[in-house]
Structure 1
């Protein structure tokens, strides 16, 4: 199970990410970044919009500037590892000047802070790299603090360097515990830190500007963001789940843009000339455009060159997989087409769940987001992509397979379209009010599903976790308020606000995108019962243990969230009464998990992770770490032996980052993790099966009487990619 492996990884490695860079005899500082005219104009435009139309309109003054200042430093150096206290004192005069920087369209002050951050980062990384020549002694009882967010800035240079020494020591120890020799470790870390230095040197003015602007927007309210032109484009792709390109997933390995995956049916796959691992060293436009060298170039810059318009030609200069840098290249010409982003689409699986009387079929729909192709909708495209339409197709297929119950898996679904949340809810409750919204003026409207009829009226459940937010909470809350289904999991994120996207270019009447967009909070939403998910989230009917630290993630972890409040309930009536089942379902659930060794193992992992967060330190003593690792691996081996599962490879910390392994190895590990047992999903399937049994009047037979793992019978995506 992916969740379990995250916890195991935390317990095995207690890893602290170290990103350090080159240490030449003379530091090669990144080029000094300077704001450009359109950025200053964009900032001023954004201020006008935010001060007039935001749900929580706040004047841009010295008070807000002070909050922006703190937010900016927190975004640049959250663990307080780069800046010294002297640096903070040096820029303290800007605390009440950032508002003037925006209003006067003079962004030198925030850019000076950013440039100082880059200089400090390069210095710290240079020091880290220099330590590799000496190695480390792992016999002492040193410890490393894991979370430094609440610590003061280092008072001296020596204090800062000691922090970095411990971080690099931990990186070295992780690789040593994984079986690497000292020479190999030094080589791996040297390459890692050098790559980080190069990434720092490629930071653009646009990225520095976006960091500052988000410090401004988030100082107002946590879910208001500035999106530069490129970020806005990627946001649109995520919402419509399509783009125009060649159908290849790319990654950066050793300075090369490398093909990680080919999308079935896409131009790259259909050409038959490309394969996973091939490296793109040049990109040219059209049949005869000049070839641009992209070796060492930023990944997103190369992606931008490869994307384009439908039916246009792009030529790629390819260095074949596993060949040396001096191997012969080949040129591949491709015609761009529309690519469906399948990873973000709704997917379904039907599971067979064994019970005391046989088996039941439970369909699971996993929905990563509430996506919607707004442009396709506006243009009247009858096949436009949306979460609700895709889920409706999957439900129809499940009905044809005669499933006994449906489970909507909204774990890690951060939200999306409000319209899709309303429509998708209607698939289960019909044409009824779903959510209420209140705008900045205090006007309240009821968002009602008036078009979509019930697609599934049988037993159902909704899985949520702390990362289920916004539209996910609207859906889960409505299902709960109408008594329609069981909410299973942990309390959700607690985001009860509605955002809209405003184009600054449209406001400026620009034909070409250069100012970016604002994703701005314009309303707060409320449940049909009058409550809100703001801060409190949705409380499950049947709880599973919290897998993370609620104080560090979720709405309540922000410094300035909107408060919880209540309004009058909407005119609604429940359509079901799952609460009547809860006593029996809870009893079966408790009895089942007490006997489930995998579930109990997960509880142990969660408890250990919680203790580690509480202690907030990791040992840098090799003997201690080896003992901890051996105990953890022994536990996992015993668990696999009892369960009959296979390799533990994906659960063992190798000390490497994702782009430091061979691509084939990384893909194999990813596949292993994806296929791992999902303990919480298994239990949720049993709960929905139990609910179906109770609805059938079989109150004495629990779904899990045999306590066997559910078996996948079928799996599908809502809409196969059409290239």
Structure 2
């Protein structure tokens, strides 16, 4: 039976749905951020959970304490732009006691570090804002060190001020070079633009609350154990689960914060806002009411707080006070009423397109390209036995049916930047392309090995198949690509994948926190953050509890999947991917399981490689890619930039000239060596945007079709 577990790759620092206490810059007074009792309980119970069921079995000792400390400082200020050297020296007192504190649920030292960071952060921003109106001398030969990772911490505030003066000067020079026209007029516009930028940053920073601090603390804590164990606060847990499901319940609009006001950025097709037609892009929402309740003014709110108010369960009513696009905030607002519904995020679901490719044999081939951005599954609808639940496999099966009706000669699946998702979907998607059999092996914390199979006989597509991967194809993507490769069912094209071979289980923290602790929190009348409907009250932990292996016995951990047809990569393994993570689990292997390969493609792959290499040697785009990689490698160790106008302008002019030369080269190629694209060609810009890796992968697929036919 398939394990109902999820895999996730990239996790950003979460922002919670709480108004919370504000930062006070006057020292460790009553206004400073402090943990609440629920956060202390959560962290204490998590330590116990990690010690008992985490796959890695990490000892909670001084060594881990030091790792958490370093991870925390790096999370807050990796670029060494905010803390002073004296701050770091003060923090060193906590290095070896953090684990002991966490075991006791004591977060005081971690919050102290965060409060100092928040103070320094606001100091830097306010200093930067004060420098915007300076009369900068852009003829002076100065440089700005933008990458300070290898520098020492600022010794004094004066040293920090000097670096930030140069940062503002660089920002101002960048704006100056981007505008043409009257010098005086542009200078005023640049001052207004930069002032507004820093004002917005300060405004958002001042809304930081104890839940934000707790989320960052937890990121450092869990990240020191392994890179894929993550605690999500309630709002981020809800966002994670919605992303996995590709569905959410609400009004069907994407929102953005603009000058302290929530603005409509996009209306999602098929949602309540789309059907009602009352809301338009750039309308601003200044008030929200639930059903017939009183309106709540949301001007100046954090975006996540506003979103929590506007979203809600399917079938419920929300009323909005709207200032239509183009009208002043002082205008009379209009009131609209919307009934929330379930929204399916089609734009992040699997999609198809058909490409016509001319092979070396002169024949035209029709290739169906399926882009799969993630392995998603509406787990709640799946468990509720909803016949219309959303999933990757269901979507791809329908796409394959349409491609077969259109008589494609081959299918190319694009998994580039697909960070993974549901293990179930990786297994079931594989089942669309093999008859039946094992797909992946999973070893748990007790070293028990389970083989997960595709148990449904038959295939949805049995023709020529290619899978594109890159350095950011991970987790479920690697399970699928590895199974296709091991069965000889298709060819893998691209670059070495990420190397994430661990399995996470998503656990609602309400199941972890003991009943006595929940009663204690209730008795203390803890002021919990406002939790949106459907969000777990105490958040969610995605904890590493197993490791997966290919059916040939090899782990994808660290090593990932190596393509059959390889392309150059701009992302070196020592800086990107699992092998760059210090807390990652090692590579290993187990015994292979029994499986019957569909075919041995080694001879075919050799022939395809030969044709691919011949094309590459004659390809201008391949040459461009190698030049880009060389340029990026050369710039990798650069840490500073000139802030002398003449020098910076020269560097940018040279970069633009290189780009223009490439575009002219592409125009000539597109027009078959005759004339450049006509100015009235509306698709000119689109044609010049070359996806070289996909284009060459399509050529390889054309070779594959031709060779199979022969």
Normalised to the residue count of structure 2, the TM-score between the two structures is 0.87
Equivalence for 2:394: 389
| Aligned counterpart in structure 2 of residue 219 of structure 1, from 201, 217, 224 | 224
Equivalence for 1:706: none
| Aligned counterpart in structure 1 of residue 706 of structure 2, from 681, 690, 693 | 693
1:516 equivalent to 2:539? Answer yes
After TM superposition, the structure 1 = structure 2 runs for residues 164-183 of structure 1, keeping only pairs within 5 Å, are 164-179=164-179, 181-183=186-188
Equivalence for 1:630: 653
Deviation at 1:578, TM superposition (A): 2.6
User: Structure 1 stretch 586-595 or stretch 433-442: which is displaced more?
Assistant: 586-595
Deviation at 1:596, TM superposition (A): 3.2
Secondary structure of the residue that 1:427 maps to in structure 2?
coil
Equivalent-residue separation in structure 1 for 2:45 and 2:419 (angstroms): 28
Distance 1:253 1:199, change over 3 A: same
Equivalence for 2:12: none
Equivalence for 1:368: 373
1:59 equivalent to 2:63? Answer no
Q: Are 1:535 and 1:563, in contact at CA under 8 Å, matched by a contact in 2?
A: yes
Q: Are 1:501 and 1:520, in contact at CA under 8 Å, matched by a contact in 2?
A: yes
Equivalence for 2:15: none
Secondary structure of the residue that 2:432 maps to in structure 1?
helix
Q: Are 2:573 and 2:580, in contact at CA under 8 Å, matched by a contact in 1?
A: yes
Deviation at 1:376, TM superposition (A): 1.1
Equivalence for 2:19: none
After TM superposition, the structure 1 = structure 2 runs for residues 178-327 of structure 1, keeping only pairs within 5 Å, are 178-179=178-179, 181-286=186-291, 288-327=292-331
Distance 1:114 1:675, change over 3 A: farther
Q: Are 1:473 and 1:538, in contact at CA under 8 Å, matched by a contact in 2?
A: yes
Secondary structure of the residue that 1:644 maps to in structure 2?
helix
Deviation at 1:107, TM superposition (A): 1.7
Equivalent-residue separation in structure 2 for 1:123 and 1:253 (angstroms): 23
Equivalent-residue separation in structure 2 for 1:34 and 1:552 (angstroms): 35
Equivalent-residue separation in structure 1 for 2:600 and 2:401 (angstroms): 24
Deviation at 1:28, TM superposition (A): 9.0
Equivalent-residue separation in structure 2 for 1:183 and 1:135 (angstroms): 11
Q: Are 1:38 and 1:514, in contact at CA under 8 Å, matched by a contact in 2?
A: no
Equivalence for 1:591: 614
Equivalence for 2:526: none
Secondary structure of the residue that 2:641 maps to in structure 1?
strand
Query: Which 5+ residue runs of structure 1 have no aligned equivalent?
Result: 1-25, 647-670, 698-723
Equivalence for 2:439: 434
1:335 equivalent to 2:339? Answer yes
Equivalence for 1:107: 107
Distance 1:616 1:452, change over 3 A: farther
Equivalence for 2:75: 75
Secondary structure of the residue that 1:391 maps to in structure 2?
helix
Equivalence for 2:678: none
Equivalence for 2:47: 47
Equivalence for 2:525: none
Equivalence for 2:575: 552
Deviation at 1:451, TM superposition (A): 2.3
| Aligned counterpart in structure 1 of residue 558 of structure 2, from 531, 535, 538 | 535
1:471 equivalent to 2:494? Answer no
Equivalent-residue separation in structure 1 for 2:150 and 2:598 (angstroms): 48
Deviation at 1:484, TM superposition (A): 1.6
Equivalent-residue separation in structure 2 for 1:620 and 1:553 (angstroms): 30
Equivalence for 1:8: none
After TM superposition, the structure 1 = structure 2 runs for residues 451-490 of structure 1, keeping only pairs within 5 Å, are 451=456, 453-490=458-495
Equivalence for 2:662: 639
Query: Deviation per CA, 1:615-635, whole angstroms, max 9, x where unpaired?
Result: 343332322221222222223
User: Structure 1 stretch 413-422 or stretch 579-588: which is displaced more?
Assistant: 579-588
Q: Are 1:223 and 1:521, in contact at CA under 8 Å, matched by a contact in 2?
A: yes
| Aligned counterpart in structure 1 of residue 413 of structure 2, from 398, 408, 411 | 408
Secondary structure of the residue that 1:615 maps to in structure 2?
coil
After TM superposition, the structure 1 = structure 2 runs for residues 122-201 of structure 1, keeping only pairs within 5 Å, are 122-179=122-179, 181-201=186-206
User: Structure 1 stretch 169-178 or stretch 582-591: which is displaced more?
Assistant: 582-591
Equivalent-residue separation in structure 2 for 1:633 and 1:116 (angstroms): 42
Query: Deviation per CA, 1:281-330, whole angstroms, max 9, x where unpaired?
Result: 111110x2111111121111111101111111111111111222223321
Deviation at 1:467, TM superposition (A): 0.9
Equivalent-residue separation in structure 1 for 2:553 and 2:106 (angstroms): 45
Q: Are 1:71 and 1:215, in contact at CA under 8 Å, matched by a contact in 2?
A: yes
Distance 1:163 1:536, change over 3 A: farther
Query: Deviation per CA, 1:559-604, whole angstroms, max 9, x where unpaired?
Result: 2211111211111232123321223222222232333333432332
Deviation at 1:396, TM superposition (A): 1.2
Secondary structure of the residue that 1:363 maps to in structure 2?
strand
Distance 1:498 1:151, change over 3 A: farther
Q: Are 2:663 and 2:688, in contact at CA under 8 Å, matched by a contact in 1?
A: no
Q: RMSD in angstroms over aligned alpha carbons? A: 2.3
Deviation at 1:236, TM superposition (A): 0.8
Equivalent-residue separation in structure 2 for 1:549 and 1:135 (angstroms): 42
Q: Are 1:491 and 1:540, in contact at CA under 8 Å, matched by a contact in 2?
A: yes
Equivalent-residue separation in structure 2 for 1:326 and 1:339 (angstroms): 32
Secondary structure of the residue that 1:364 maps to in structure 2?
strand
Deviation at 1:545, TM superposition (A): 1.8
Distance 1:377 1:61, change over 3 A: same
Distance 1:350 1:519, change over 3 A: same
Q: Are 2:322 and 2:336, in contact at CA under 8 Å, matched by a contact in 1?
A: yes
Equivalent-residue separation in structure 1 for 2:239 and 2:477 (angstroms): 21
1:581 equivalent to 2:604? Answer yes
Deviation at 1:673, TM superposition (A): 8.1
Equivalent-residue separation in structure 2 for 1:231 and 1:77 (angstroms): 22
Q: Are 1:83 and 1:120, in contact at CA under 8 Å, matched by a contact in 2?
A: yes
Equivalent-residue separation in structure 2 for 1:549 and 1:255 (angstroms): 40
Q: Are 2:25 and 2:119, in contact at CA under 8 Å, matched by a contact in 1?
A: no
Equivalent-residue separation in structure 2 for 1:244 and 1:673 (angstroms): 35
Q: Are 1:76 and 1:117, in contact at CA under 8 Å, matched by a contact in 2?
A: yes
Query: Deviation per CA, 1:626-658, whole angstroms, max 9, x where unpaired?
Result: 122222222322333333399xxxxxxxxxxxx
Deviation at 1:485, TM superposition (A): 1.4
Deviation at 1:99, TM superposition (A): 2.1
Deviation at 1:132, TM superposition (A): 1.1
Deviation at 1:365, TM superposition (A): 0.8
Query: Deviation per CA, 1:351-378, whole angstroms, max 9, x where unpaired?
Result: 1112342311111111111111111111
